[in-house]
Amino acid sequence: MPGQNTSTRSGRKSALKETDNNKENHKPNTPSVDKLSMKEKDGSDALDYEKNEPLLQPNPKRFVLFPIKYQEIWHFYKKAEASFWTVEEVDLSKDLNDWDNKLTDDEKYFISHVLAFFAASDGIVNENLVERFSNEVQIPEARCFYGFQIMIENIHSEMYSLLIDTYIKEPAQREFLFDAIETIPCIRKKADWALRWIADQKSSFAERLVAFAAVEGIFFSGAFASIFWLKKRGMMPGLTFSNELISRDEGLHCDFACLLFSHLRMRPSQKKVEAIIVEAVSIEQEFLTESLPVDLIGMNSTLMKRYIEFVADRLLVALGCPKYYKSDNPFDFMDLISLQGKTNFFEKRVSDYQKANVMSRVTSSNPSDNTFTLDADF
């Protein structure tokens, strides 16, 4: 069975020991993003050329939406709008039985720490959207998407907090997980990487766009896969359903970053893009194979490393670069993420449902634009 570990590990004690050994000041053996940036251009040059970027130029018409100028960007907003959901649609009533009676202590440890990372990460993504991207991008179509993304990230954060609140009964342990950025070094390391890009005043918008595509496309990928592994085993239906909803949303956010990147006139070199992605891959691989090893839930760490490389290659291609790792997908069950389900389109509790009238109106109003179409099955 792909992804299943054939050997046993020492469990939580080993994970805790590894976590202690991986302090936040550890430097992955990858190219230094900052040094590469400085070699290519100094900070002032990185910002000077942005004055000529259409997406970033002051736009006196940004307060009025119509006429739509960037149809493809607008379609992404409408697709996000059609996929709206709330935490009330996720049924957690059956999860507690699995949590109390089916999961091992190692599995509970792993899941709770993954949820702790997710609970903090959506707030970091929103910090970037509010503080940087929404202020920098001047076209109203993209601002619509960012506004909606901020709202859906709030829903993600609420969902993860609710999951922790449901599963973890001990108040002190709940507080420890909610404060994960300060209390868990391996989570702090991932958070610090993202926060560094928010605070960076020298790197270009394009470079930071790549970095946050990596946050949502790479930093989340292994954790999503680990929860889908539980779905394959038929456990934790509420957790796995929310994982489907959130992974779909994050995939759309990552795709949107790649779309905006394609609209930029001045883009970083392939070497620069690769350096950002490779550093993110190194941090994510360390997180899920050393600091919080997926062996705890019966997955294979070597295959997880390969899966993260596969996801990174897919992101590089979407950014217009060649594959770096040339790794294949070792987890056949993860194909379910990229395939829409075949359940009745009008059933409420289906994670790939969309509000049909929203997308049908968009596609029919632009018959020549075939960027998005409804699946034939529907």
For the annotated catalytic residues, the residue numbers are: 160
100-111 burial: b if 16+ Cβ within 10 Å, else e: eeebeebbbbbb
Reference 339, options 254, 259, 251, 217; nearest CA is 251
Contact 304, 228 (CB under 8 A): no
Euclidean distance between CA atoms 228 and 329, whole angstroms: 14
Check if the beta carbon of residue 50 is closer than 8 Å to that of residue 297. no
195/192 Cα distance (integer angstroms): 5
Give the distance, in angstroms, between the CA of residue 354 and the centroid of all CA atoms in the same chain: 20
- Residue 343, beta-bridge partner list: none
> Residue 77 and residue 55: Cα distance in Å, rounded?
16
Helices (H), the chain: 12-21, 33-40, 43-48, 71-82, 95-101, 105-128, 134-136, 140-167, 171-178, 180-183, 185-199, 205-214, 221-232, 237-263, 270-286, 301-318, 335-338, 356-365
Query: In angstroms, rounded to a whole number, what is the distance separating the alpha carbons of residues 294 and 315?
Result: 23
Comparing CA positions, the residue from 155, 330, 351, 345 lying closest to residue 237 is: 351
d(CA 280, CA 364): 40
Separation of alpha carbons 108 and 167, rounded Å: 9
- Angle ∠(59,150,72) on CA atoms, nearest 5: 55
**What letter does residue 68 receive in the DSSP assignment?**
P
Cα 222 from Cα 299, distance rounded (Å): 11
